[in-house]
A and B are shown apart, each in its own frame.
Chain A
Amino acid sequence: MNKKLIMLDTLSKGQKAKIKKIRTDGKLLRRLLDMGFVMNSEIEVIREAPLFDPMELKIQNYYISIRKSEASLIEVKI
């Protein structure tokens, strides 16, 4: 399991990872960068909504919820 690159939406509650790449561009990329989804930043999955979407994350010492469709564009390393 170690050092594997996977997409953020596949992580489950309590897992920690580091951001490696964001596979999108334009407005969405800018917003994700502005919210702290930058290279090598640490991320922790806090919880998922009852129907598994959206998911709440801890990043840059604060909490944020994002859609699974957005999380599936973010490549992370555990």
Chain B
Amino acid sequence: MKQIKVGLAGQPNCGKSTIFNLVSGIEQHIANYPGVTVDKKTGFFKYEDYKVEMVDLPGTYSFSSFSQEEKVAKKFIIDESNPNSKEKNIDIIVNVIDSSNLKRNLYLTFQLLEIGIPVIVVLNMIDIAKNRGLEIDSKKISKMLSCPVVETSGSKGIGGKELMQTITDTFEKKTLYEEFKINYEELEIHIEKIEKLLENSKSHLSKRWLAIKLLEEDPTILEHVGSKIKKEEIDKEIESFHTLHDKDTISFLATFRYDSADVIYHECVKNHNKNKETLTDKVDKIVLNRIFAIPILLFIIFLLNFRT
């Protein structure tokens, strides 16, 4: 029986755990607020002729190393893609996206695509996006990101089978994997220089990805490359980029990724009711009214306490 190892990544509250439960049949605790999964959780299950190991990673807005969740997710990717490790290597990253919040979610997608491990994008909560009048062209997104895209609605149990099919297909066609590359324009020359410095590095990870992360001053990656590269040399590149363009690398990369997400959004999403209020908006208008808010709050507290 073939074994597939899948990592589930995505921003907080996008439905990673719901997708995990949907395809694995394992009941993991889910709540309607972000940050429920703080450590990674692993589940094993069978699908057709495959034994699937699925790792539910904590939600992260970004893929740097500045919060505990990000460190857990990053460490997982580094450790479990090492061919010398005893653990089975990760085969596929499944990036779960909240379809009704596409732009911010794509910001993480770009960072996952750069790692160099095949990525499958899951447009979750697609029903909510549709209800809000968003028409998403998933084929076009797939083409632009050169990776498979699956539409799902975890809470309604839609799309699980399609996702598993895509996972096995991607696993079998591994050799056809197309590397994704953003052209960072003026930063490219600095990325190349760092890549050169990494030439003798024994790291199993993509040199380009390491170089980009080093320019972002990522402490986990700096530790990973260890003594092979001097911090002063990286600082020199960051400094020279700053003097040449009057921008710091961290803000430049973030802006570049959001701009790229914006391009995808405008190409692939049609908003049919731009000015229509959602139900939340309507409720907010009443309960968050400057004059009525406090009386409504007191009334609800009164109801809760004195209904007996």
Interface residues of A (CB under 8 A from B): 22, 27, 29-31, 33-36, 38-41, 47, 50, 60-62
Contacts and interface: CB of A to CB of B under 8 A. Distances in A.
A29 B250 contact: yes
B62 A30 contact: yes
B61 interface: yes
B254 A61 contact: no
Nearest to B217: A30
B286 interface: no
A34 B103 contact: no
Q: Would you call the interface of chain B mostly helix, strand, loop, or mixed?
A: helix
B187 to A, nearest CB: 14
Given A34-B254, A36-B107, A50 B290 contact: yes
Contacts of B102: 61
Contacts of A39: 251, 255
B64 A35 contact: no
30 contacts: A22-B251, A29-B250, A30-B62, A30-B64, A30-B66, A31-B61, A31-B66, A33-B250, A33-B254, A34-B61, A34-B107, A35-B61, A36-B104, A36-B107, A36-B258, A38-B251, A38-B255, A38-B258, A39-B255, A40-B255, A41-B258, A47-B284, A50-B293, A50-B294, A60-B103, A60-B104, A60-B261, A61-B101, A61-B102, A62-B103
Contacts of A47: 284, 288
A62 B254 contact: no
B288 A34 contact: no
Nearest to A47: B288
Contacts of B76: none
B241 interface: no
Nearest to B271: A61
A32 B66 CA distance: 12
Max chain B Cβ within 10 angstroms of own Cβ: one of A30, A35, A62: A30
Nearest to B294: A50
A41 B62 CA distance: 18
Nearest to A28: B66
Max chain B Cβ within 10 angstroms of own Cβ: one of A39, A47, A61, A62: A61
A18 to B, nearest CB: 12
